[in-house]
Amino acid sequence: MSGMLRGYLADHCFPPGRTMTHARCTIELTLAGLLAASAPCLGADVQAEPARIATQTAPPAGASLYARMGGTATVTAVVNELIDHSAADPRLKRSFEGVNLDHVKKMLIEQLCSLTGGGCTYTGDSMRDVHAGLKIDQSEFYGLVESLRIALQHHGVALRERNELLEILAPMKRDVVER
């Protein structure tokens, strides 16, 4: 099974915290297969994304999660997309109103670098302090996680690394969600 198919299965058929019926997954995979098979007829280049990923230099064995995710360039691009999307998303924007988004981005990049072995030291406040009083609920939290997963995929972060990052970030939920 190709890495792309494994990633699709993990992200769409069996995402964390959600189950999907076999029939629905089969339908989604069938549709995905039909789209991929028909893409050349429609003038689409189905190999564009795998080719881009294949040309990237693989990090050395034993590299940090930060390096395996793509380092500063990728983490910065993911954070920028995540925050920009979240601040504009009607489901999530309430928590970002009146907030200095550039500062949020800077602190999140620093925190991800620190948490994933990139050699940074996080200088921001605790997650509990940063989110105190925002009254973030579970749907907002999971909406942000969904946006993060999309941004990670969009910037070519592999499934293994996405899962490792989510595993590191998951315990923060208790410090972020208030209701």
Please name each of the domains of the chain with its CATH number: 3-54 (no CATH), 65-176 (1.10.490.10)
pLDDT reading at 72 higher than 50 = yes
Share of the chain above pLDDT 90, in %: 63
Q: At what angle do helices 71-88 and 101-115 cross, to 10 degrees?
A: 140
Q: How much is the pLDDT for 128? A: 94
Q: How much is the pLDDT for 121? A: 97
pLDDT reading at 68 higher than 50 = yes
Residue 56 banded pLDDT, cuts 50, 70, 90: low
Rounded-to-integer distance, Cα 45 and Cα 34, Å: 14
Q: How much is the pLDDT for 11? A: 53
Residue 22 banded pLDDT, cuts 50, 70, 90: very low
- Contacts of residues 53-58 at CB distance under 8 Å and 24 or more positions apart, as own/partner, are 53/156, 56/156
Q: Does the model's pTM come out above 0.75? A: no
Q: How much is the pLDDT for 36? A: 36
Q: How much is the pLDDT for 61? A: 73
Q: At what angle do helices 138-154 and 159-169 cross, to 10 degrees?
A: 150
> Which has the minimum average pLDDT: 40-49, 56-65, 143-152?
40-49
Backbone angles phi, psi at 49, to 5 degrees: -65, -50
Q: How much is the pLDDT for 9? A: 44
Rounded-to-integer distance, Cα 104 and Cα 69, Å: 20
